[in-house]
Structure 1
Amino acid sequence: MATDPASIFADRSQAFAWEEKSFAQKVSRIGWLRLFIFVGAAAGAVYLFYTGLNLAGTIVLLLGYGLFLYVLRIHTKLQYRQKHNGFLKKINTEELERLKGKLALFSDGQQYKNERHGYTSDLDIFGANSVFQLLNRAVTGIGQDKLAGWLQQRAPVPEILARQAAAAELSLDIDWRQHLQAKALHYKKTVESPFLFFDWLEAPDFYKDKNWLKITTFLLPVLTVGCLLFSSYFTVDSYGDITKRSAFYAAGICMLLQYLLAAKYHKQRDAYYEKSSGMYDVLRSYHDLLQHIEQRPAQSQKLKEQQTRLTVAGTKASGHIHRLAKIIEYLSARMNVYISFIINAVLMWDFYWMYRLENWKKDVANNMAEILEIIAEAEALASLSAFQYAYPEYAVPQISNNPFEIEVKDLGHPLLFSSVRITNDFAMAGTGRTCIITGSNMSGKSTFLRSVALNLVLAQCGAVVCAKQFRFFPGQVFTAMRTEDNLAESTSSFYAELKRLRMLLDETAIGEPVFYFLDEILKGTNSRDRHAGAKALIIQLHGRNTAGLVSTHDLELGAMEQEHPDYIANYSFNSTIEGDKILFDYKLKPGICRSFNASKLMQLMGIAMENSGE
C-alpha cells in the first residue's frame, strides 16, 4: 500500500477515474431506459385511446409519466456522482502537478497583488509561480479571499496555534478535504463571485412601511379562492343563482385587484426575482458545503467552535440555507408565463414568496456573515492541511518568546522544486540585531533572504514551513527587494527604493516588532553614498523594535561587525572558479565573503577584461 503522497495521489486518481467511467456507463443505460419508458408509455397510451380504452390509456399515461420522473431522478443522481468522481480524479491529478512544481494550471491570485504591501510582491505570494498557487485549494470566492487575507496579515499567536491544530487534524482526513473541494466544484462558476448574494442580504425590506400589503397578501387569495368555490357549489336556496353570480363577480374583482397590485409593483417584483434567482446555485453549493462541515466529528478546538457557530436558533445552518433555496425555487414558478398568470391572479404568488424571503432574512441574515465566514475558514484550513499532507517532511513551526529569535535547520524555499533542494541552518536573536549577508553574484544571497522571509509568512498564517525545524518570534515581515523605476510616475529605481525604505521607517516607528529583509540595499547609487546610507539605516533600525537581514556586495558594510559586535553579524555565500567554470555550493557560512566572480562572469559574456588594466 502506497504511503508517500505522490503514490497516494496517483492511486486515488486512478481509482476515481474508474469510478467515473463506471457511473458514466450507468448514466448511459438509465438514459436509454428513460427513452424506452417515454416512447413505450406514449405508444401504449395512443394505442389504447385509438381502440377506445380511454380509462386504460389515461392510466398508462399517468403511470408512464410517474415512472419517467422517478427514473429521471435516479439519472440526475447518477450524473452528479459521475461528475463528482471526475472532480476527485482531477483534484488528485492536480496534486501531482503541484508536487512537480507545475503551478501554471492554478489560480494565481492576481487580484490580490499590491505593490505597496509590506512583502507580498517581493516574496511571490501572488502571481505566476506563487505561494497562493501552491497552497490554494479553495473554490469559492470567499474561501480564496480568506486564504489570501491569511497570507497578507500575520495572525495573533493563539490563532496561529489554533490553525496549526486544525490543519494537523484535517491533514489526516484526505477524503473529507477532497470531497469538500469537489462539492464546491459542482457550482464553480456561481460560487467564485457570490457578491449578488451579499447585495441581496443588504437590500432594504420590500415590505417595510407596507403593512397594508402584508395583510392583502394573505387576505386577497383567501377571498378569491373562497368566492370561486362559493360560485361553483352554492345551491342552498332560491336565491342561489344570484348569490353564485355575486360570488363569481366578487372573485373577478379580487383577481382584478391582484392584477393591479402586480402591475403596480412589477418592477420591484422583477428586480427582486433577478437578485434572488441568481443565488440558487450559490445556495445549493453553500448548503452542500455546510452539510459536509457539520457532519464531520471535530477534535481540535477551532473546528469544534466552528460547528457550534453553525447552529442558528436551534437549526443547523445548512437547514436554513436549504429553506432559502426552496423558497427561491417556488418563486421561480413565475418563469412559466401561463402558470405565473394563474397563480399571481389567484394566489398573489410573488408577493407571498417575497414575504417568506423577507422573513428568512429577518431570522437568519444577521448570522449569515458568520456562516459564510465558517465556509471560508473551512476552505482556507483545507488548503493549509492539504499543503501539510503533500509535504510531510515540512516542520510545524514553534513559537519563541525570545525577541526576534529565528532558529532553523535545513531551511529551503518552498517554490524551488529541485529533487535535491539545498538547505541551510541559521540562527539569530535579539532586538535591533542585523545580519549582513555578503556574497558573489548568483551565489544564493537573495534566495536565502526570501527563504527566511517567506517561511516566516507561512509560519504566521498557521502553515507548515520548508524546514526540518523552525522556531521563530512573531513579528511583522517587511521586504525591500524588487524596487523598479516607474515611467508613469517619473520615478527612478533608486528613488523607488528610497520610498520603500521610507515605508520601513514608518512601519518600525509604530513600535510593533518588525523583521526586515533588504536585498542589495541602495544599489541604485554610487558606492560611497550607498555605504554611508546603508550604515546609517542599520544604526537607525538598531534603535527600534526590529531585527533583520541585509544582503550586499559592499564589503565595507561588513566592517560594521567590528564596530558593533553586539548587534551586527556577518554571513556569506561563496563561489569557486575552476577554469571557465564558476561553482556554487549555496551554503551559508559565517564571516564576510572572500570570493567574487563578477569579472569572470563578464569575461564569459565576451567582455575583454584584460583591456581594463586592472
Structure 2
Amino acid sequence: MQHNPSEIYSSRASIFKQQQTIAAGKASRVSWLRVFLFVAGAAAAYHFFSSGNNLLGALAIVTGYSLFVVVMRWHTRLEYKRQHLRLLHQLNLEELDRLKGNISKLDSGQQFSDDHHPYTSDLDIFGPNSLFQLLNRSVTSIGKAKLAGWLQHRATKHEVLHRQEAVAELAQPESIDWLQNLLATPRHYKHAETTNEDFFGWLQQNHFYSRHTYLRPLIFILPVLTLVAIVAWFYGFSGYPAVGLLVVQSLLAYRFRVERDAFYDNSIGIYESMQSYTRQLQHIEQHQFQASYLKEQQHKLHAGNVKASAALGKLALIIDFFSYRLSTLMAFFLNTILMWDFIWIYRLESWREKYLEQVKGSLDVLASFESIASIAAHQYANPTHAIPEISETPFEFTAEQLAHPLIFVSERIANDFSMQGVGHTIIVTGSNMSGKTTFLRTVGINMVLAFAGAPVCAHKLRVAPVQVYTAMRTVDNLAESTSSFYAELKRLRILLNMTEQGEPVFYLLDEILKGTNSRDRHLGAMALIRQLHNRYSSGMISTHDLELGAMEEELAGSVENYSFNSTIEGDKILFDYKLQRGICGSFNASKLMQLMGIAIEE
C-alpha cells in the first residue's frame, strides 16, 4: 500500500513544531542557569577574597568557570537541537508546497542556465518554475552543482541503474528520518557559492613556507624565547631581551601582513561550509547502506588515514583558531608574543599536504549523496511516479500515462505513447493551445529525469539512452544582430552536426522554420526530415503545417502522424489534451481571433 506524502509531511511538520517548542523552553532554562552560575561564582569569589581567604576565592573562580563552560556547551547543544527541529519543520512545509506546485520561492538553479545547451532552456530544467526547483533539496553549492550536472548530462545505463537502486533505498518510509536529517543539517550554516573550490585552488597555488623557509624554525623558537624573556622580566631580570624579541615578532608580522591577511581572507569564508560538511559526512559515515552505489561512495570516505569528516574537522578547527585575530587587541598580543598567524598558516599548509586530495574526493562523495537524497525525497513525495526501464532497443520510448511533472493540477492529463527505431519521426499537428508543444516538452523532461536516475511522471516508461536535443524557444539576439529565424537555423545546424558524430540523438523540434514564408517552411521542413531520416537519430516535430503529414506516405513506417484536437461550442473552445493518431482535423485560430475582438469574415 502506497503512503500518503501529504498526510505524512503535515504530521511530521506538526510533530517537529511541538518538539521545537519543548526544546526552546529547555534551552531557555539552561540559559538562565548559565547566568546564575556566573553571578554565583563571581559573588562567591568576591566573598572569599574580601574575607582574606584567597585560596577559596581562587577555587571559587576555577569551579565557577568550569561549571559555566560545561553549562554553556550544554546550552549550545540544546540550541542546535532546537534549531534543527525548526529546520525539519521548515523542510516538511516545503515538501507540502512542492506537492501543491508552490515552488517559486525555492532555488531555481538560474546559475546553471545555458541557452546554448542541447535542451535545458527549452525543457525548463533551470530557472523559474523549473525541474531543478522541483527536484533539488540541497543548500550546498557542491550538492546543487552535482545535481545540475546530472540533469545536464545523461548517465550511462550502468550509472542510471546504480542511482535508481540508491534512490530506492533512501526513499523507503523507514529511511525518511535519516534522509531529512541529512537534508536539514547544512541549513544550519551559510554556504557561499563555490567558496570552497576557490579556496582549495588558491591554497594549492600558495606555498608560504616554501618561499620563506627561514620562518619555519622561528615559529617554534621565537614564541618560547619571548615567553621565557617576559617571565624573567617579571622576576627582576633585564627587560631588554623581552622587548627585543617583541620588536622582532612585530617587525615580522608587519613584513608579512599582506600574506597573513590573504590566508585569513581566503579561509574564513569557508569556515561554516567546513562545519556543515563535517556534520553531513559524520551522518553518512555512521549509517549502514545496502545499495552498492551508496556503499561504494561511503567506502571512499574511509580511504585516507583518517575519516573524511575528521580531516574536514581539522580544517574547520584551524580556521577557527585563525579567526582569533578578529579582535584587534587579541591579535596584537597573539602576533607579537606567539606568532599566531604564522603558526596557523603553517598548520594550514601542513593540512594541505596531508588531507587536501582526500577532502576534495570526499566533497565529491558528499555532493553525490546530496543529489541522491534530493532525488530520493522527490521519489518519496511522488510514490505514483514510475521507475523507468532502460531499453536496449534503439530510440525506444514507450510510455503509459505520461504527464508533465511541472503541471500541478488535481487531474493531470496523461497520454500513452510509443515509438522506436532509427530514422523515425513523429509529426504532431494540432490547433493552437491544444497541447502539442507541451507534449514534446513532456517527452523531453521525462527523458532527462530517466537519464539522471530519477522517477518519471508516468505509470510506466521504457526509454533507450539518447542525447536529447531541442529547438523550441529560438529568439532573436540584437547584440549579435541575429534574427529569430537565423537563430533557429543555427540551432538546426548544431543538430545536424551532432547527428554526424554517431551518437544517438533524439530531437524535439517545435514549429520549425516558423520565421519564413509557408512555401519555404514546408520545403525546408520536408528536407530536414529526409536528412534526419538517414542519420542515427529519431524524434518529434510539432507543426501547424498539415502538408507535412504527407510524409507518412513518402517515408512509410518511418514517419507517423499524431495530433491534438479541440472542439468549438458556441463561444467556447474545448481541449481534451489527448494525443490521437493521425493529422489534426480541427483548428481554432479564427475563433481565437474572434474572441480577441478581431473581426473575421466567414
Superposition TM-score, scaled by structure 1 size: 0.93
CA distance in 2, matches of 1:407, 1:83: 47
CA distance in 2, matches of 1:31, 1:584: 63
- The reply to whether residue 549 of structure 1 matches residue 540 of structure 2 is yes
CA distance in 2, matches of 1:283, 1:566: 58
CA distance in 2, matches of 1:257, 1:312: 44
Name 1:183's counterpart in structure 2.
185
CA-to-partner distance for each residue in 1:79-136, whole Å, 9 max, x for gaps? 1111100000000000000000011120111111111111111111111111010000
Q: Structure 1 vs Structure 2: percent identity of aligned residues?
A: 54
Pairwise CA distance, 1:224: 4.2
Deviates more, 1:508-517 or 1:6-15: 508-517
- The reply to whether residue 452 of structure 1 matches residue 438 of structure 2 is no
CA distance in 2, matches of 1:214, 1:34: 42
Deviates more, 1:193-202 or 1:291-300: 193-202
Pairwise CA distance, 1:557: 0.5
Name 1:372's counterpart in structure 2.
363
- The reply to whether residue 30 of structure 1 matches residue 36 of structure 2 is no
- The reply to whether residue 207 of structure 1 matches residue 240 of structure 2 is no
- The reply to whether residue 170 of structure 1 matches residue 170 of structure 2 is yes
Which SS does the other structure have where 2:209 is aligned?
coil
CA distance in 2, matches of 1:506, 1:356: 53
CA-to-partner distance for each residue in 1:147-196, whole Å, 9 max, x for gaps? 11111111122111111111111112211221112110000344774445
The answer to whether the 8 A contact 2:141-2:192 is kept is no
CA distance in 2, matches of 1:582, 1:347: 82
Pairwise CA distance, 1:558: 0.2
The answer to whether the 8 A contact 2:444-2:508 is kept is yes
The answer to whether the 8 A contact 1:196-1:279 is kept is no
Q: Are residues 395 and 71 of structure 1, via their aligned partners in 2, closer, same or farther at CA, if it must alter by over 3 Å?
A: same
Pairwise CA distance, 1:2: 9.8
CA distance in 1, matches of 2:57, 2:559: 96
Pairwise CA distance, 1:37: 2.1
Pairwise CA distance, 1:255: 4.2
Which SS does the other structure have where 1:276 is aligned?
helix
Name 2:523's counterpart in structure 1.
532
- The reply to whether residue 494 of structure 1 matches residue 496 of structure 2 is no
The answer to whether the 8 A contact 2:195-2:270 is kept is no
Which residue type is aligned with residue 354 of structure 2?
D
Aligned residues: 600
Which residue type is aligned with residue 112 of structure 1?
F
Name 2:10's counterpart in structure 1.
10
CA distance in 1, matches of 2:339, 2:139: 39
Name 1:128's counterpart in structure 2.
128
Name 1:110's counterpart in structure 2.
110
Name 1:237's counterpart in structure 2.
none
- The reply to whether residue 590 of structure 1 matches residue 581 of structure 2 is yes
CA distance in 2, matches of 1:190, 1:522: 43
CA distance in 2, matches of 1:371, 1:590: 52
CA-to-partner distance for each residue in 1:438-496, whole Å, 9 max, x for gaps? 11222111111110111011111111100111001101111111222333333332222
Pairwise CA distance, 1:51: 4.0
CA distance in 1, matches of 2:587, 2:325: 77
Which residue type is aligned with residue 407 of structure 1?
T
Where does the alignment leave 5 or more consecutive residues of structure 1 unmatched? 234-240
Name 1:434's counterpart in structure 2.
425
Which residue type is aligned with residue 131 of structure 1?
L
The answer to whether the 8 A contact 2:427-2:560 is kept is yes
CA distance in 1, matches of 2:517, 2:334: 82
Name 1:140's counterpart in structure 2.
140
Deviates more, 1:265-274 or 1:381-390: 265-274
Q: Are residues 78 and 391 of structure 1, via their aligned partners in 2, closer, same or farther at CA, if it must alter by over 3 Å?
A: same
CA distance in 2, matches of 1:343, 1:190: 29
Which SS does the other structure have where 1:456 is aligned?
helix
CA-to-partner distance for each residue in 1:523-575, whole Å, 9 max, x for gaps? 22222111111000000111111000011111110011111113111111122
Which residue type is aligned with residue 44 of structure 2?
G
The answer to whether the 8 A contact 1:433-1:567 is kept is yes
The answer to whether the 8 A contact 2:191-2:273 is kept is no
Q: Are residues 51 and 253 of structure 1, via their aligned partners in 2, closer, same or farther at CA, if it must alter by over 3 Å?
A: closer
The answer to whether the 8 A contact 1:508-1:546 is kept is yes
Where does the alignment leave 5 or more consecutive residues of structure 2 unmatched? none
For residues 172-571 of structure 1, the aligned pairs below 5 Å read 172=172, 173-190=175-192, 193-225=195-227, 250=241, 252-571=243-562
Superposition TM-score, scaled by structure 2 size: 0.94
Q: Are residues 190 and 499 of structure 1, via their aligned partners in 2, closer, same or farther at CA, if it must alter by over 3 Å?
A: closer
Question: Could you say which structure has the larger radius of gyration?
Answer: 1
Pairwise CA distance, 1:427: 0.7
Name 1:236's counterpart in structure 2.
none
The answer to whether the 8 A contact 2:312-2:359 is kept is no
CA distance in 2, matches of 1:575, 1:564: 28
CA distance in 1, matches of 2:331, 2:568: 84
CA distance in 2, matches of 1:505, 1:402: 23
Pairwise CA distance, 1:343: 4.0
For residues 16-95 of structure 1, the aligned pairs below 5 Å read 16-95=16-95
The answer to whether the 8 A contact 1:224-1:254 is kept is yes
Q: Are residues 333 and 552 of structure 1, via their aligned partners in 2, closer, same or farther at CA, if it must alter by over 3 Å?
A: closer
